[in-house]
Structure 1
């Protein structure tokens, strides 16, 4: 019989045309129904632009998906691919917005289909949620096609109800009698009517079973003799091979996809390449992609092989070989997962304990936490640097219970090493120094304890530096205001700032650059809050230049917020927005969810100060904190921005109720600036709901809270909501110099805001010309030809238009321009 050939199916192709009618289409059918083949052949016959991603294993993670997507996008736009790769999978609202912006900027000049094959292998909701986000705001001409065995990991009910998603079920893919007969003819087999009826009834239109049945007939196996497909696979696909190839296939089944070199290494079969070529020629269930040089075993055969070798003692060895290959090729997280399958836990610990393998964001794999929690302490103590990395991760992401458990483990490790005899003193001190530094994370809100830990670490390092904390580590816990995080006692703002300025540079020394510039940042933030505008600007710039020298993005974000708040106060709104734009361009692609969340908070805070409610990120308008990544809940800074958004929405009843809840969040770490903002918000709500007296009473409480520390700016930033109350308070006690300072700042702020209007958006003549042609449906190259410009020049103009209009793509830009009467 001929090797498997592809049957052209007009009926299925007609159904697949609906892909171009929806942002998202789901092609759902069990294994062996020809889903992938049908989609591939249809798109090929149409000549459509295709981006194809295939999941190979349930072990594939979101990082695998993201790497594959970035690679495919690179075929269209290398720059966009690099930006997506650096940005990373959107684990928070900020990254999601940035990714959508990049996708909308892409010029899909024709209908383009993003195919995601074997979607059923995906674990968790992240990728499904991301695809749903694209479906809700699809880029022009981009359509998503999901090929899957089932939809249990897809939440598409809302999309379907809104007409954004189409489902093509198993019945669409099932072969009809006519198609089965055509397939038999294509394979060079002509059954008589009776035999054909048996084939049709036995296979039920399942094409893989049809193919196996035909192969079985040729080999003398009667139709229907095998009750289950595994028996047929064994007789037709497996036993038909020689013993050495059968053994080779069983060994290959530990992998989902592999190169010939990888197959040679893992199976230790010297004839691996020869066997693969033979299997590829003779077996339709072994495929090869020349573009990637990767072989893949069809799931029908792969499932059979894995069941057959399930209890094979050789599996442990093979898993270990795969792990070795992956680690040698720098796929560390996948390697650890395979070592874990092999039960080689000590190898994982040994690799993690090697300080040369420690990088920022050390590889995390599913099962890592289970491994460390299950091993006895005596074993973990043998691998202190691996154990300390685990403890650090648990403190940061483990919640209150995780933090408590980690602190206990840290104390046990310190006690054990302090009591160990015969250790190399330098090694012993390095372990204890790292433990002291890690303890600063567990007491991060207490500057005195932090300083003591840092000094102890420096003493133990004795001129050395940390191998776990390095200059690329993220600080700030997603709060874009450093002093806010540590100011926890009323009346001690200056004392706290002075202490931090004096003590925290030691952390920079211990970590070879992490937090460089934090002393200038503390000075800038203190000056800003208390009204020393010149010192605030000077030290903010010092922070930025110092931090940039060591790539301390977190501190650059914090210092930029200081500058933007100052510029708005001074009436230099354009300068503030330029700083924000530059900040987003420079740092939005950083693959760190906490930094991206901090950027979102900055954006929300600044637009709230400017009264631009619609520009505040949605999650901060609604208070949906689940969409953000916040270490220690961002020490509740996010609730300040949320409160500002609710104030702008003029829902004063909601605001009053929320202020009662917000204090609970600020109480966790005693954030005094949080309490102050909340009291001002409460005063604004009470004024609107109950009148001047109730508002004044609450506002006087806020003034009393801030008086000893002489805090000024937070009041001014709420000037539109509290100016009437401040005038009344100032009139009642005009000799109170602190109240006068607040009142003058509020008046200054009001004057500055009056010089700024939200509609102050201007596009150049060329930009309007290009946007007009875009609205008419012209593509970049067509616009370039029409206007005698380079395509790159048109692209730059469009990016400037999106920036000025604060939109993420063509459709939104056109809509916004029409609203502003620019078109």
Structure 2
């Protein structure tokens, strides 16, 4: 039997069952290609779908980081729709229902010019319950023209059976990639080898149709003319491929094997060999385990081959391996891949360079997902090295504070002070900048005491000659709270002074933080006026807050200002204006990609809907007081309680109000948030009144008034006067709060009249009329049908379904299917 030419062994052959299976990919929203390593999954998907003129978006997973996966996914999606890929990147991985809905909207709106398949290669490396759940959500809605295909050695999606039964999922297992006896004969013939039936059968018995083994045996046959083997895969790789390379290529391969993929520039840098391109070309010509992707300009090693090379690398001297990690880290640092740089400097035990990478990044790449690794870097760093890098220690302290690692934070603050003392040779300006940044950090440890915060802010301002470098001024100033007054009203009798304190502090703070929180002082003053019933002054001040927030791009302050304007419109009985303001808020947030404030906007809307007793309009996460399912931070939790408590009253769950009141008061006392305590006592009074416990109700109300009256905080009582008016009237004649109660009852009368007028004009009798087609589609949505299924049922296009649903959302002032279902159920 003549030996084949070497170049023929790189010919690709695909069994008919593989071809037939992959032809079905574009008929399903999701395809899962599941087979062990070395079955040719990636090659088959890439080659066969490309032949069918399918536009492939290829994402190769390299590690288990969900945030890095999302960043790379958005970058790849930028090839088909750059603008929406930026929005998805700003949104971040959608880990809750609100973010998922927005991600779905963005996927739906993508403009795909041809049939497009998003391939997530090696999905098992990043697979986690959160990602599985999101992909299942995306697929079940089936409102995007983008097809998903996952290649993996194994997957753990929970709903694969349901997805398959409903026609959403095409599962392709390893049997689709196994070579039969006839496939083996055809494959070898394509590569120049003619097999007899018994030889093909013997190869099948040896390999069970595994293409990687068949390929290696073919290479072995080319060398020694034998089709038999008893060797394992590593020995086959050794005998058929690796041992035939010259030492220069072996050295290159071992220098690159810690990476699954790499650029030519990276190969030259890691191997220190300027001849790398020619050597890689030679490697590719001689085997199929290294490939070059012309589109991404990167080389890819097969997992089987990298595993073998890494096994060889373990036998090298430790210093050689450390130098490889160091070079990988240096290349990552040069390309501003800071997290990868830190991780590889750590593996190389190059702590000096690791801290330099931390300083270059300024902590901006470190999120909660990197918490454990980041703490590990610093805890294992020699103290002598740490003390030489006070800037890195400061950044570490900032990150610990954001992680709520307060015990470690206190310890690291001491280490920072020691590091500064040990670096007396620092330039005076650099030292002043560091100490100013540290003072600014310390101001946050005094949240929410404006006076104490201000002392640190003044010290920081005296030291800083330029704005702070390390503070993330793009982060939320309000922690997601829609009210500034709620944040800083901490002690009865001090509200007027707190307003003045913030007015003094904010200009200085804003100057040293590039405008962070700008406008908050005006919003606080506006809320102060609003709460004691001076609505004209409130409107004047809130306009100032709006201007400052827009000028400096402060989305959270904008939310607070617009929320106050919406409440003012409600007081006037102008529900159309209220809805218009809420719409404007959503447009601002989504248009500027302030996705961290999506739940703040929902909280604003829900607060107003609860005032109107429209419980059906409240999202589930608020009804269940589920802070973890939102983008809000713990300091905003008490405001969530304000909405939740009112919802319980509206639903008539009075015993539940009484059962949670102690928890409400406890959480309100953490910072403290006095507004939370005032509302809690009002809810206690209302609930006790409803179950005929008048004495307890009056006691609770008096406790609320005792906190609020001295500061003329009347609005909480006015907003809940529909539940507590009889109590207020009883106290009016015999309580020391007579004047306050008289004012509350005065503004409550016009407020409740305004709400009554809104209910008459806008709901339930005069709900916006839906057309016959809109009603049909809404009914099918409630039944759980996807856009595609609705289109098929009504013989209309998916785009028509989308457009009609958007019209319905606008009419009903909602923005997703969940609220639509709640709306319909409430009719």
TM over 0.5: yes
Q: Look up the SS of the partner of 2:9 in the other structure.
A: coil
Deviation (angstroms), 1:391: 0.5
| Aligned position for 1:638 | 640
CA 1:9–1:129: 2 relative to 1, 3 Å: same
CA 1:351–1:735: 2 relative to 1, 3 Å: closer
Mapped to 2, the partners of 1:25 and 1:647 lie a distance apart of 47
Deviation (angstroms), 1:206: 1.8
| Aligned position for 2:326 | 320
1:300 maps to 2:304: yes
1:367 maps to 2:373: yes
CA 1:614–1:205: 2 relative to 1, 3 Å: farther
Superposition pairs of residues 126-137 of structure 1, within 5 angstroms = 126-137=130-141
Deviation (angstroms), 1:736: 2.5
Deviation (angstroms), 1:685: 3.2
Deviation (angstroms), 1:297: 0.9
CA 1:730–1:345: 2 relative to 1, 3 Å: same
Superposition pairs of residues 392-471 of structure 1, within 5 angstroms = 392-397=398-403, 399=404, 402-414=405-417, 417=420, 421=424, 423-461=426-464, 463-469=465-471, 471=473
Mapped to 2, the partners of 1:505 and 1:761 lie a distance apart of 47
CA 1:432–1:587: 2 relative to 1, 3 Å: same
Q: Look up the SS of the partner of 1:145 in the other structure.
A: strand
Mapped to 1, the partners of 2:16 and 2:152 lie a distance apart of 21
* Equivalent pair of 1:48/1:113 in contact (CA under 8 Å): yes
Which of 484, 488, 498 is equivalent to 2:500? 498
| Aligned position for 2:219 | 215
1:624 maps to 2:630: no
Q: Look up the SS of the partner of 2:341 in the other structure.
A: helix
Tell me the alpha carbon deviations over residues 630-653 of structure 1, each in whole angstroms, 9 at most, x when there is no partner: 444535323323333444444443
| Aligned position for 2:781 | none
Mapped to 2, the partners of 1:416 and 1:348 lie a distance apart of 17
Mapped to 1, the partners of 2:654 and 2:190 lie a distance apart of 73
CA 1:167–1:798: 2 relative to 1, 3 Å: closer
Mapped to 1, the partners of 2:400 and 2:736 lie a distance apart of 54
Q: Look up the SS of the partner of 1:190 in the other structure.
A: coil
Q: Look up the SS of the partner of 1:367 in the other structure.
A: helix
CA 1:217–1:497: 2 relative to 1, 3 Å: same
Q: Look up the SS of the partner of 2:154 in the other structure.
A: coil
Mapped to 2, the partners of 1:294 and 1:758 lie a distance apart of 60
Mapped to 2, the partners of 1:679 and 1:97 lie a distance apart of 36
Deviation (angstroms), 1:415: 5.6
Deviation (angstroms), 1:51: 3.8
Deviation (angstroms), 1:24: 4.2
Mapped to 1, the partners of 2:455 and 2:161 lie a distance apart of 54
* Equivalent pair of 2:657/2:683 in contact (CA under 8 Å): yes
CA 1:196–1:9: 2 relative to 1, 3 Å: closer
Tell me the alpha carbon deviations over residues 120-144 of structure 1, each in whole angstroms, 9 at most, x when there is no partner: 1116544334323324444244443
1:344 maps to 2:347: no
CA 1:136–1:713: 2 relative to 1, 3 Å: farther
Deviation (angstroms), 1:377: 4.2
* Equivalent pair of 2:90/2:594 in contact (CA under 8 Å): no
Tell me the alpha carbon deviations over residues 162-188 of structure 1, each in whole angstroms, 9 at most, x when there is no partner: 956665443444334443344333333
Q: Look up the SS of the partner of 1:219 in the other structure.
A: helix
Superposition pairs of residues 484-563 of structure 1, within 5 angstroms = 484-563=486-565
Which of 59, 63, 78 is equivalent to 1:58? 63
* Equivalent pair of 2:338/2:357 in contact (CA under 8 Å): no
| Aligned position for 1:262 | 266
| Aligned position for 1:475 | 477
Deviation (angstroms), 1:27: 2.7
Mapped to 2, the partners of 1:260 and 1:420 lie a distance apart of 41
Tell me the alpha carbon deviations over residues 418-439 of structure 1, each in whole angstroms, 9 at most, x when there is no partner: 6865554333332222211111
Q: Look up the SS of the partner of 2:120 in the other structure.
A: strand
| Aligned position for 2:395 | 389
Deviation (angstroms), 1:107: 6.1
* Equivalent pair of 2:91/2:596 in contact (CA under 8 Å): no
Which of 235, 244, 251 is equivalent to 1:240? 244
| Aligned position for 2:588 | 586
* Equivalent pair of 1:289/1:295 in contact (CA under 8 Å): yes
| Aligned position for 1:118 | 122
Q: Look up the SS of the partner of 2:150 in the other structure.
A: strand
Alpha-carbon RMSD across the aligned residues, in angstroms, is 3.9
Which of 315, 335, 344 is equivalent to 1:329? 335
Mapped to 2, the partners of 1:584 and 1:499 lie a distance apart of 31
CA 1:93–1:395: 2 relative to 1, 3 Å: farther
Mapped to 1, the partners of 2:617 and 2:191 lie a distance apart of 61
TM-score by length of structure 2 reads 0.86
- Give the number of equivalent residue pairs: 800
Deviation (angstroms), 1:749: 3.1
| Aligned position for 1:68 | 72
Tell me the alpha carbon deviations over residues 407-464 of structure 1, each in whole angstroms, 9 at most, x when there is no partner: 2321442366368655543333322222111111122122222122112222333x44
* Equivalent pair of 1:202/1:223 in contact (CA under 8 Å): no
* Equivalent pair of 1:71/1:81 in contact (CA under 8 Å): yes
Which of 569, 572, 578 is equivalent to 1:570? 572
Mapped to 1, the partners of 2:526 and 2:185 lie a distance apart of 79
Mapped to 2, the partners of 1:261 and 1:549 lie a distance apart of 43
Superposition pairs of residues 65-214 of structure 1, within 5 angstroms = 65-106=69-110, 113-122=117-126, 125-151=129-155, 154-156=157-159, 167-214=171-218
In structure 1, the gaps of 5 or more residues are 784-793
* Equivalent pair of 2:69/2:126 in contact (CA under 8 Å): no
In structure 2, the gaps of 5 or more residues are 779-786
| Aligned position for 2:782 | none
Tell me the alpha carbon deviations over residues 175-203 of structure 1, each in whole angstroms, 9 at most, x when there is no partner: 34443344333333333233223211211
Q: Look up the SS of the partner of 2:711 in the other structure.
A: coil
Tell me the alpha carbon deviations over residues 574-623 of structure 1, each in whole angstroms, 9 at most, x when there is no partner: 22222222222222366777544434433433443344434433322222
Mapped to 1, the partners of 2:650 and 2:117 lie a distance apart of 41
Mapped to 2, the partners of 1:595 and 1:138 lie a distance apart of 27
CA 1:553–1:815: 2 relative to 1, 3 Å: closer
TM-score by length of structure 1 reads 0.86
Mapped to 1, the partners of 2:192 and 2:534 lie a distance apart of 88
Mapped to 1, the partners of 2:552 and 2:254 lie a distance apart of 51
CA 1:225–1:438: 2 relative to 1, 3 Å: same
Tell me the alpha carbon deviations over residues 189-221 of structure 1, each in whole angstroms, 9 at most, x when there is no partner: 333233223211211222222222222223227
Which of 581, 602, 605 is equivalent to 2:604? 602
Q: Look up the SS of the partner of 2:86 in the other structure.
A: helix
Deviation (angstroms), 1:406: 0.7
Mapped to 2, the partners of 1:658 and 1:230 lie a distance apart of 63
CA 1:713–1:815: 2 relative to 1, 3 Å: closer
| Aligned position for 2:615 | 613
CA 1:606–1:131: 2 relative to 1, 3 Å: farther
